[in-house]
Structure 1
């Protein structure tokens, strides 16, 4: 299998790497076109950008050719993602030849790392803005109009955008993201996020509750609380998590942890389903698990990356946990939330990974039996510890083969996990029309498994009881029994 085809297969498996085109609900004099790539946080950030620029007179459009400003919200997690961005920028510049007044900008995680190349060497963009500088966009656009370079990639210790109401564009009107924190303090040796998004800082919980209530009042049925590492959420009146020890006794006494935030949101919007992403194993505590078990509207699903089943490789990755500790956490999850859906992230072919290490990963997958997962082979990212200190010594063909074995194992485990739902009734939040047939609807159950069933008189946004008749390796198939709530 060719590398690009394999990467596309993995993206299909992971539901990552897709572009999101933000389109118009806003009206203004100037046209804005945004594409967003990578993680859910990037999609959420694009909605913040649309809100900021709406106040500056921009309306969003799906038609790139008519845009005055074209923005690409970027991902640096893998080399393939960066190459995709460069190809899109080349396409944008072809269109710009027909519209010389068009301005092209790069946002997000690639901005700081490759700003000089994109602006000066390759001359692909007019504007470069990092994840903490979106408020500065109107000023930067003024600098462009005056003939100056427009760059702001400064990382912030305070910015959380907590007083900006994101514009909910490009979505289904049913599910929405709420960003609860920014940055990451976990220095995994393969990851660029701490360098592109800065240190961890959390949003005021009151602004999160207000955003959740507003979404409920506007008819949304489900929210996902977002952060690079949500279990590290800690609000104590502002500031970085690393400075919590210096906080006053009063601030410490009134601090809100992630478990506390989950409970507050669950109680504020009891009609809504609540999910969250992403968790880190070393930071997930039992009080979070008990909060999930306590509240029916917090979905029984956890995305819990483990990256490798080998303790030796985990240490090289600086993941902060061992194989044994991860398995112990899984046991606690299964005990406290007996029917919890669990998904994973895996990196195949990390530097020095042996066949024995690879087998450790496969055996952990079989022991846990994950519902689904996001699977990639190792892609060296510039300036990370792994890139500076560890030789990328696993041949590409070996990485590909190991990744294929991981995907095969996950498909087998995933199908066994889905089989447990066959013959049961599942409560499904309908999200839209099935990709395969306009006669079918799809949604997700509590454990985040996709369910497809005949449309009949149901519609997106309905909560429907579905009798599951069969399953594929990734999808439950059933028939609707009754409408629970519209």
Structure 2
């Protein structure tokens, strides 16, 4: 459940991705994604690779020549959903004999034998670093052989592939800057499914952002399992940096420098990033946020637990005291900074006192919002192999409810701080509840809704906030902001 991997937006799970059709493409690709934003971004890369192989996307499963499901190993629910989808694909396959089915992503890496040999439910299995091999793998499949490539790479960052933007609101885009993770949190399967950490060449990142800006995207989120530890020194794994030449080390680009480059080169583009890791979060990054108006005043800073003994059991490289100090230091540099959390309750060995420590930490920070889960053991993780999942389910449920209730209270406290203020909002779409209202987000990443009037999608608008719930601000547009 590490970082960006776990920020799972339920609204976009399992949506078939749609790209612009090309007349010359004759084959149809049906691709669904489950899991985190990194997975959604990977599906865009896959669509881009297959576009060159003659595939247009379709939302009609029955007419597809190739069906791909991009999977997630983080939560049991995602795995169960994917298994059910595979059953559905196979029912269609009985009618459409030529249809091929493939599994991509994190589950592919973990369950390759099961899918191909034991259950015989798919034709190809492709891990997160092997998408460029898809054309060869499809050739294997067309000749009647199963095809597998789940080799994790030290180099692959897909820096040379411009993702096809799918199901986008046309305003916000995601750009992956790192792949893999070096933090061996005991509850997390990511280092095993996505490999060790490596960063993309800043030049390719800036080129991709330029393409997005040229297409009129107004907001870019820089993505990685752990963006703070971005480090480009000419290629290779983060852990091998100390073996690099003196010149490579001296000219390396870290995350704070990358942020500075992005914000400086694209002053009219708003930047966000996700996900941060407390032990890697450098105050240099916070100084860049303070320096640039176009870097949002919001940090997703997963803590996972407020108890030192649980943090140690999770192999988190920080204590509760260090985390609190980090929060204090950030607020000293950027007083209006908003924070969100990831929290796992009921981890192996968690006592009532550990749980109280978590609630106390939440009281200390008063997060704007959070992503909260009861611990569920994932096969292949260190905790799964070596620790007993010993907190009873009803205890997990109660603790989770207490964490959610407290978060709701803090969410309302935080949104109330915005009442009466005028804040810049980027219009991202129509409000779900009212077709006559726009919705967008302010710099703190809080959703703001207001009457449409003459404003349009993609405008930066100053909005006076006059009402709120625990998760949404309501207001009235005053004028265009000076960022248009």
Please report the TM-score for the alignment, with normalisation by the length of structure 1. 0.96
Q: Tell me if structure 2 keeps the 8 A contact 1:24–1:62.
A: no
> SS of the counterpart of 2:161?
coil
> Which of 23, 26, 29 does residue 21 from structure 2 map onto?
26
Pairing of 1:32-431 with structure 2 (within 5 A): 32-431=29-428
1:117-152 deviations in Å (ceiling 9; x for gaps): 112222221111000000000110000000111110
> SS of the counterpart of 1:400?
helix
Q: Tell me if structure 2 keeps the 8 A contact 1:275–1:298.
A: yes
> SS of the counterpart of 2:56?
strand
Q: Runs (4+) of structure 1 moved beyond 4 Å?
A: 11-17
> Which of 456, 464, 468 does residue 465 from structure 2 map onto?
468
Gaps of 5+ in 1: 1-10
Shift of 1:400: 1.1
Q: Tell me if structure 2 keeps the 8 A contact 1:16–1:38.
A: no
Shift of 1:18: 2.5
Q: Tell me if structure 1 keeps the 8 A contact 2:448–2:472.
A: yes
Instruction: Tell which deviates more after alignment, 342-351 or 430-439.
Output: 430-439
Please report the TM-score for the alignment, with normalisation by the length of structure 2. 0.96
Q: Tell me if structure 2 keeps the 8 A contact 1:14–1:373.
A: no
1:345-404 deviations in Å (ceiling 9; x for gaps): 000100000011011111111110000011111011112110111000011111111111
1:94-122 deviations in Å (ceiling 9; x for gaps): 22222111111110000011111112222
State the alpha-carbon separation in 1 of the partners of residues 210 and 339 from structure 2. 28
Shift of 1:481: 1.2
> SS of the counterpart of 1:213?
helix
Q: Tell me if structure 2 keeps the 8 A contact 1:111–1:153.
A: yes
Shift of 1:217: 1.1
Q: Tell me if structure 1 keeps the 8 A contact 2:19–2:165.
A: no
Change (3 A) 1:190 1:12: closer
State the alpha-carbon separation in 2 of the partners of residues 13 and 473 from structure 1. 20
Q: Tell me if structure 1 keeps the 8 A contact 2:8–2:35.
A: no
> What is residue 479 of structure 1 aligned with on the other side?
476
Q: Tell me if structure 2 keeps the 8 A contact 1:13–1:373.
A: no
State the alpha-carbon separation in 1 of the partners of residues 213 and 9 from structure 2. 28
Q: Tell me if structure 1 keeps the 8 A contact 2:8–2:36.
A: no
State the alpha-carbon separation in 1 of the partners of residues 16 and 466 from structure 2. 35
Shift of 1:425: 0.8
> SS of the counterpart of 1:403?
helix
1:288-343 deviations in Å (ceiling 9; x for gaps): 11011101101001000000000100000000000000000000111111101110
Q: Tell me if structure 2 keeps the 8 A contact 1:188–1:317.
A: yes
Shift of 1:24: 2.7
> What is residue 4 of structure 1 aligned with on the other side?
none
Shift of 1:483: 2.1
State the alpha-carbon separation in 1 of the partners of residues 8 and 33 from structure 2. 19
State the alpha-carbon separation in 2 of the partners of residues 163 and 380 from structure 1. 36
State the alpha-carbon separation in 2 of the partners of residues 140 and 475 from structure 1. 46
> SS of the counterpart of 2:438?
strand
State the alpha-carbon separation in 2 of the partners of residues 192 and 61 from structure 1. 32
State the alpha-carbon separation in 1 of the partners of residues 93 and 182 from structure 2. 39
Q: Tell me if structure 2 keeps the 8 A contact 1:20–1:35.
A: yes
> What is residue 3 of structure 1 aligned with on the other side?
none
Q: Tell me if structure 1 keeps the 8 A contact 2:7–2:371.
A: no
Instruction: Tell which deviates more after alignment, 11-20 or 456-465.
Output: 11-20
Change (3 A) 1:26 1:268: farther
> What is residue 3 of structure 2 aligned with on the other side?
none
Change (3 A) 1:165 1:13: closer
> SS of the counterpart of 2:454?
coil
Shift of 1:14: 6.4
> Would you say how many aligned residue pairs link Structure 1 and Structure 2?
476
